[in-house]
Amino acid sequence: MKRIVISGIGVISSIGIGKDAFWDALIKGTSGISTISSFDTSVFSTHKGGEIKDFKPEQYIDPARVIQAGRASQLAMAASQLAYTDSRLSSGACAPERFGLCFGTTMTETRILEELNAAWVKTGAMSIDPVLVPRYPAYVLASNIARMVGLQGPSYTIPTACAAGNYAIGYAYDLIRNDEADMMLAGGADAFSRLAFIGFNRLLAVAPDRVQPFDKNRKGMMVAEGAGVVILESLESALARHAPIYAEILGYGLSCDAHHMTAPEHNGIARAIENALRESNICPDEVDYFNAHGTGTPANDREESFAIKKVFGEYTRKLAVSSTKSMLGHTMGAASAIETIVCCMSLTHDVIPPTINYETPDPDCDIDCVPNICRKQKVTIALNSSSAFGGNNACLVLRKY
C-alpha cells in the first residue's frame, strides 16, 4: 500500500491567516471570538462569534474570481492557494487529470441564500439577480477551486456537517491509495452566516461570552467561520520533489450514531475512534495527542469524554486531549480540516495547544484537557476526532514523519 503524506497546509481563521500566524496564535491561547459585525444581532440573546475580521480575498485570489464567488468559496480558494504555495507545487508536478480535490462543508454558501431570500421577500421572485443563483449550490466549493488551480481529476463536495473535513481528507486518502489520483487537495470551509447563527441560537446551544470545553460550567458553542486545506500525495512523490512533509496519514474511521439528529452518543463516537485505530494498526496507548471535537456544549463534551474513556481505558489519564474550538469557535465544515492542520503542526513542533477558558473540573469530563497553557511534549501519533449532526463521526490518525 502507498504511504500517503500531507505536504502542504493552508488555513484561514479568526486567529490567524496562514499556518505560521495561525499556529503562533494557537499555542499562545489566543481567542478569535469577538462581537458580530456582519449583521444585527440585537434581537438575539447572544452577540458573539468567530468572525474573520481581516480577510481580504483579493490578496490571495484573482479579483475577477473573487466577484464570482461567495464568501465560503473565497475562504476555500484562499486556503487552497496557501496550501498550494506551501507545498512548493509547480505546474508540472502532477498531470492535471491526476490531481483531484475533495471538500467538506456544512452550510455551503448560506450568505448567497440569504441574499436570494431577502430579494424575494422585498420585491418578488423575478427581482432576484440571476448571477447569484449559480453561486449557491454545494458543488461550487470544489468547482471554484478546480477552476482556480486547474485541477481536472476527481472533484467532490462532501456535506457531512461538522465532520465533513475529516470525511473529505479520508476520501482523498483513499483515492490516492487506490490509484485513482496522484495528488489531492482536501479540506473544508464555511462562512459565518445569519442562518447558522439563528439555528444554533434556536437550539439554545450558543454560549453568551466564551467557549469552555470540558468545563463544568460550560454553556455552549460559538458559531464561527474559516477554511482549512491540505495537500495529499504519496511519500515517494513528496520526497522526489523535496516537498515539506507535515505528517503521514495512517488511516481513518467512520461511524453513524443512528441515535438522534442533533444529540451525540458516545458509543458511536467510540466506534469511529476504534475503527481508525484498527485501520491504522495503532494501539490506544501509542497515541500522544487527541484533538477533540470539544464544542463546549454540555452534551457533546460529556459524550465525547465517555467515548475517550471507553476506547482508552486507564490510559486516558496519560492522554493529552485539547479542544481548539475554545479559541476558534465552531467553524462547521471547516472544523475538522483545521483541526487536522492543528495535529500536523503539533507533530511538527512537539507542542500540544491548550483548551482555554477552563476553570472548573467536571466529573463527567475527567480527562487531561491541557488547560489554558500549551504543553511542550513529544508527539508521534495524533488523532483528530470529529462529530456532526445526523450522528456522523470521523476520526483521522496522523503520524510524525
First to last CA, the chain: 17
* Amino acid at site 201: N
| Cell numbers for 50 | 468567530
- Taking the C-alpha atoms of residue 172 and residue 154, their distance in angstroms, rounded to an integer, is 9
Which helix H or strand E contains 9, and what residues bound it? Answer: strand 4-13
- Taking the C-alpha atoms of residue 340 and residue 166, their distance in angstroms, rounded to an integer, is 8
Please list, in sequence order, all residues whose beta carbon lies within 8 angstroms of the beta carbon of residue 86, skipping any fewer than 6 positions away: 8, 9, 10, 19, 231, 244
- Taking the C-alpha atoms of residue 355 and residue 374, their distance in angstroms, rounded to an integer, is 8
Is 293 catalytic? The answer is: yes
| Cell numbers for 385 | 476526532
- Taking the C-alpha atoms of residue 297 and residue 331, their distance in angstroms, rounded to an integer, is 15
Which helix H or strand E contains 83, and what residues bound it? Answer: helix 71-86
| Cell numbers for 231 | 495537500
- Taking the C-alpha atoms of residue 195 and residue 212, their distance in angstroms, rounded to an integer, is 23
**Alpha helices (runs of H) in 94-251, residue ranges in sequence order:** 110-123, 140-149, 164-177, 194-202, 235-240
Catalytic residue among 94, 102, 162, 344: 162
Is 162 catalytic? The answer is: yes
Length of the chain equals 401
Q: Tell the burial category of 284 from Cβ atoms under 10 Å away from its Cβ (0-12, 13-18, 19+).
A: middle
Catalytic residue among 94, 266, 330, 343: 330
Coil/strand/helix, residue 254: strand
- Taking the C-alpha atoms of residue 314 and residue 332, their distance in angstroms, rounded to an integer, is 32
Catalytic residue among 94, 293, 365, 374: 293
Nearest of 178, 179, 204, 168 to residue 338 by alpha carbon: 168
Report whether 49 contacts 199 (CB < 8 A): no
Phi-psi group of 122: left, alpha or beta (phi > 0 → left; psi -120 to 50 → alpha; rest → beta): alpha
Report whether 346 contacts 377 (CB < 8 A): no
Report, as residue numbers or ranges, the catalytic residues.
162, 293, 330
